[in-house]
Structure 1
Amino acid sequence: MKEKITDFDVSAYLDNEETIAEYLTVTLEENDPDLLLAALSNVAKARGMSQIAKDSGLGRESLYKALAPGAKPRFETIMKVMHALGVKLAVHA
């Protein structure tokens, strides 16, 4: 019998505020813009992409484009998405 291997989907595990906060914090520490976009996309997927698009004031397709690898979204767009996700950036010395 052949075993079926499926792709890992991190969004399935982003099911509470603490996990999401830790995931985004660790991602920010990598200093990789594409990784941050992927992480925000995963969190948005976990929360419901349509709802995040609505809450951020962006179209669903625009949200997908803004969070795609290699995209160069405006800071304002990232802040709208983060607000819709209910997360904030924090700076620590």
Structure 2
Amino acid sequence: MLTSNKAILGELFRDNPAAIASYLTEKMSENDLDAARTGLSLVMQAQNVQMLARDAGLRRDTLYKTFGGRIDPHLSRILKLYDALNVRAGVVPANPSDGLTRPSSMIADASNSFAEQLTKALAGNCFNEAVLALREVAFSQNVSALARASAIQRRTIYKTFGGTVDPQLSRILKLFKAMQLRFVVVPLLPRSRPPRPKLGRPLKASGT
């Protein structure tokens, strides 16, 4: 049964950025770490992981460890995975009907402005630009109020989003939940990259 399910996922998500983007957007919609990790893990395992690791610039075992669904992945590796999958992250305001409360210092249309700023920084899957944008957005707030709303200690916000460390996904999701933001995933234009073979190890070239 597990093999069958994996094959079905492979057919759905392999080399299909549009399907991947739609699925991950759904999994990221509630800013829930477990749902996000599950989505990233299933999409990763649906690919030929050895070739995906090559495209992401990561070791195969690192890819399995990071996106196996058990640890809290860091932003830099998520962006590398997205680039290899030919998708990118974006940010939009969260649904106001979810009952979340913004920190009192935020103006009414701030979520739209922050979403646009973060989406622009994430457009190229560039880690440095993304980290700087997260820093600007987080520190534009009253950090004490943001700490209360996000359930992250004030000093942890300064450390995590200070622009010098690789933030974990869980803390980004908590920040977004407090600021009524959420991730979306968008497919990129097709690249001239050879399609990955089906699940399993890639075939060796003849004569090797």
- TM-score range normalised by the length of the shorter chain: 0.7 to 0.9
In structure 2, the partner of 1:23 is 23
2:54 maps to a residue whose letter is K
In structure 2, the partner of 1:11 is 9
Which protein is bigger by CA-based radius of gyration? 2
In structure 1, the partner of 2:186 is none
- Please state whether the residue corresponding to 1:88 is helix, strand or coil: strand
Task: Using the aligned pairs only, state the percent identity.
Answer: 33
Where is the helix percentage greater, Structure 1 or Structure 2? Answer: 1
Distance of 1:74 and 1:60 partners within structure 2: 16
Distance of 2:80 and 2:71 partners within structure 1: 16
**Counterpart contact for 2:41–2:69, Cα < 8 Å:** no
Gaps of 5+ in 2: 94-208
Which one has more relative contact order, counting CA pairs under 8 Å at least 6 apart? 2
Map of 1:13-92 to 2, 5 A cutoff? 13-15=12-14, 16-92=16-92
- Structure 1 residue 41, shift from structure 2 partner: 2.3
Q: Residues 20-47 of structure 1, C-alpha deviation per residue, up to 9 Å, x if partnerless?
A: 1110110111322232222222222223
In structure 2, the partner of 1:3 is none
**Counterpart contact for 2:44–2:67, Cα < 8 Å:** no
- Please state whether the residue corresponding to 1:92 is helix, strand or coil: strand
- Please state whether the residue corresponding to 1:73 is helix, strand or coil: coil
- Structure 1 residue 71, shift from structure 2 partner: 0.5
Q: 1:54 to 1:46 in 2, by over 3 A?
A: same
Q: 1:79 to 1:17 in 2, by over 3 A?
A: closer
2:30 maps to a residue whose letter is E
Distance of 1:41 and 1:69 partners within structure 2: 5
